[in-house]
């Protein structure tokens, strides 16, 4: 069980209503409640999964359980008023599967890609393509080798002459989904795939330039570098920077590489254990996010830090808060109530 409740922290309860006082309420500028409690609750569940794996497999899993257990146990905000909080401090564990860290990375990655593509769209000669590269589902034992093969295939693809002559830059993320539908023929298999936003010149679409790569050509290219003719699907579509689809594509590419619902599976402890073990091994020392070409150049120009290993507290310039303010308020995680409460 989780052990991260600070000592001597008192929970205040209204004597008349029985209502628990001073819980954390943190809302975004759009009014949406940030899911701190939900993510921390899942952190506790994941920590317990790692602890259980450590019973037979040693300190490696136990140490990750400890890191998860402490992740986000204390949150400190610069709280100008009840509706205006800016995070100043949060202890981050950086375990690949951690729900809190994954959520924060996603927010950071989306903020960075939005800033990068806002800069790129100032050049009216650039156009954008949303590409999805898939492979057939695989069983858990084959997942690490499949990911390695895909990474090597991606490297080969970016070295092809047709790529070098036509693609100006890219933002690429690998997503891995886990089929947990017992009625499916692909039950308990994994589907790694790449989501990519490509940058091309406007002449790419000119009928006079012979640059355009259609869907069948992308499929042929991907099959070739993967050396796998069983691949049947490659999705490619043009996205305009002025359309809502553009922001949707950036959000799609920026989302979690693995959703916590795919490995914290209610009422299926053994399957959850097996999945955590499989994904932990498959993702070990993997870098699932990449910038290339002019996208990488703009990332450097804007002086953005690493979206995976960088600061997960201040995820964008608007979230930077004054750590010396007189309005600092801290909250601790209570594992029994599954909520954050204000510290005296």
User: What's the pLDDT tens digit per position in 311-328?
Assistant: 899 887 666 656 566 789
Comparing 26 with 15, the larger pLDDT belongs to 26
CA nearest 87: which of 283, 314, 327, 276? 314
CA nearest 338: which of 36, 13, 9, 22? 36
Given this model, what pLDDT does residue 11 score? 66
Kindly list the distances between the CA atom of residue 325 and the CA atoms of 38, 77, 84, 207, in Å, as whole numbers in the listed order. Answer: 28, 10, 14, 59
Q: What is the mean pLDDT of residues 7-30?
A: 71
Mean residue pLDDT of the chain comes to: 90
Comparing 257 with 136, the larger pLDDT belongs to 136
CA 234 to the chain's CA centroid: 22
Kindly list the distances between the CA atom of residue 284 and the CA atoms of 28, 95, 123, 262, in Å, as whole numbers in the listed order. Answer: 32, 10, 38, 17
pLDDT band with cut points at 50, 70 and 90 for residue 251 = confident
From start to end of the chain, where are the E strands? Answer: 74-81, 84-90, 126-134, 169-178, 190-201, 234-239, 289-292, 328-334, 339-342
pLDDT band with cut points at 50, 70 and 90 for residue 7 = very low
Comparing 324 with 310, the larger pLDDT belongs to 310
* pLDDT for residue 152 is more than 90: yes
Give phi and psi for 280, each to the nearest 5: -60, -45
* pLDDT for residue 1 is more than 50: no
**What is the per-residue pLDDT across 60-109, written as a single tens digit (0 to 9) for each?**
999 999 999 999 999 999 987 666 788 999 999 999 999 999 999 999 99
pLDDT above 90 coverage of the chain, percent:
72
Q: Which residues are CB-neighbours of 99 under 8 A, at least 6 positions away?
A: 39, 40, 42, 43, 46, 260, 264
* pLDDT for residue 236 is more than 70: yes
Comparing 214 with 84, the larger pLDDT belongs to 214
Largest CA distance in the chain: 78
pTM, full prediction? 0.90
Kindly list the distances between the CA atom of residue 206 and the CA atoms of 203, 213, 301, in Å, as whole numbers in the listed order. Answer: 5, 11, 30
210: left (phi over 0), alpha (psi -120 to 50) or beta: left
CA nearest 168: which of 110, 125, 217? 125
State how far the Cα of 308 lies from the Cα of 156, in Å rounded to an integer.
24
Given this model, what pLDDT does residue 85 score? 87
**What is the per-residue pLDDT across 34-48, written as a single tens digit (0 to 9) for each?**
999 999 999 999 999
**What is the per-residue pLDDT across 274-295, written as a single tens digit (0 to 9) for each?**
999 999 999 999 999 999 999 9
Q: Which residues are CB-neighbours of 159 under 8 A, at least 6 positions away?
A: none
Given this model, what pLDDT does residue 309 score? 85
* pLDDT for residue 12 is more than 70: no
Q: What is the mean pLDDT of residues 205-217?
A: 87
> Range with the lowest mean pLDDT among 226-230, 237-241, 263-267, 290-294?
237-241
State how far the Cα of 259 lies from the Cα of 212, in Å rounded to an integer.
34
Decide the pairing of beta strands 126-134 and 289-292: unpaired
Cβ of 43: how many Cβ atoms within 10 Å?
A: 29
Q: In what order do the strands lie in the sheet with 190-201?
A: 234-239, 126-134, 190-201, 169-178, 289-292
* pLDDT for residue 2 is more than 60: no
Does residue 307 contact residue 105 with C-beta atoms inside 8 Å? yes
Kindly list the distances between the CA atom of residue 261 and the CA atoms of 57, 66, 165, 239, 293, in Å, as whole numbers in the listed order. Answer: 24, 21, 41, 29, 34
């Amino acid at each position: 069980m989780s052990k991260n409740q600070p000592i001597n922290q008192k929970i205040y309860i209204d004597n008349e209503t029985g209502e628990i006082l001073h819980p954390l309420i943190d809302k975004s500028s759009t009014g949406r409640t940030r899911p701190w409690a939900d993510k921390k609750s899942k952190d506790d569940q994941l920590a317990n999964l790692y602890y259980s794996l450590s019973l037979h497999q040693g300190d490696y899993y136990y140490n990750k359980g400890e890191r998860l257990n402490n992740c986000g146990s204390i949150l400190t905000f610069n709280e100008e008023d009840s509706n205006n909080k800016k995070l100043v401090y949060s202890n981050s564990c950086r375990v690949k599967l951690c729900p809190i860290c994954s959520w924060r990375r996603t927010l950071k990655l989306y903020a960075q890609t939005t800033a990068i593509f806002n800069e790129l769209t100032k050049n009216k000669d650039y156009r954008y393509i949303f590409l999805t590269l898939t492979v057939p589902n695989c069983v858990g034992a084959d997942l690490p080798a499949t990911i390695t093969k895909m990474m090597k295939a991606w490297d080969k693809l970016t070295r092809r002459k047709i790529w070098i002559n036509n693609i100006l830059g890219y933002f690429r993320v690998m997503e891995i989904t886990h089929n947990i539908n017992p009625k499916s023929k692909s039950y308990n298999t994994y589907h790694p795939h790449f989501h990519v936003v490509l940058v091309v010149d406007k002449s790419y679409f000119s009928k006079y330039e012979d640059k355009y790569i259609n869907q069948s050509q992308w499929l042929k290219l991907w099959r070739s570098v993967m050396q796998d003719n069983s691949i049947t699907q490659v999705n490619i579509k043009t996205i305009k920077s002025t359309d809502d689809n553009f922001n949707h594509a950036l959000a799609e590419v920026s989302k979690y590489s693995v959703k916590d619902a795919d490995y914290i599976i209610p009422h299926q402890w053994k399957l959850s254990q097996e999945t955590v073990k499989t994904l932990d091994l498959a993702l070990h020392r993997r870098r699932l996010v990449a910038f290339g070409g002019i996208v990488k150049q703009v990332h450097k120009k804007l002086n953005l830090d690493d979206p995976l290993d960088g600061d997960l507290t201040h995820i964008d310039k608007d979230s930077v808060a004054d750590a010396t303010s007189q309005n600092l308020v801290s909250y601790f995680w209570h594992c029994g109530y599954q909520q954050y409460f204000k510290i005296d």
